[in-house]
Structure 1
């Protein structure tokens, strides 16, 4: 497990999560907007990558 890599992923996830929240702006109906999907997919990929990195320790 690379702790520096985990920290970098955590920071990137937080940035992307913030972008996602801003894109939706508290309106669930905006989840259908075209610009939201790429942000959501990016966050999903980061989460999977983070979990894989964490599992290397176990």
Structure 2
């Protein structure tokens, strides 16, 4: 963000992409790494984890089964 005197505040070009990338990295560190570690402890396959993730997306969209 930068100021233009008398005109207001502006977001620098590329800032949104950088912020999104940083948040995605944080998401991986905070959630995905822990998810994979816990799934491994439960001896779950990648396919089983993906099925649970798909179920979560369906629930989020209101596609309850």
Where on the TM-score scale, by shorter chain, does this alignment land: which range?
Answer: 0.3 to 0.5
Provide TM-score, normalisation by structure 1.
0.42
> Which structure shows the higher strand fraction?
2
> Which structure shows the higher helix fraction?
1
CA radius of gyration, larger in? 2
Provide TM-score, normalisation by structure 2.
0.39
Q: Name the structure, 1 or 2, with higher relative contact order (CA <8 Å, separation 6+).
A: 1
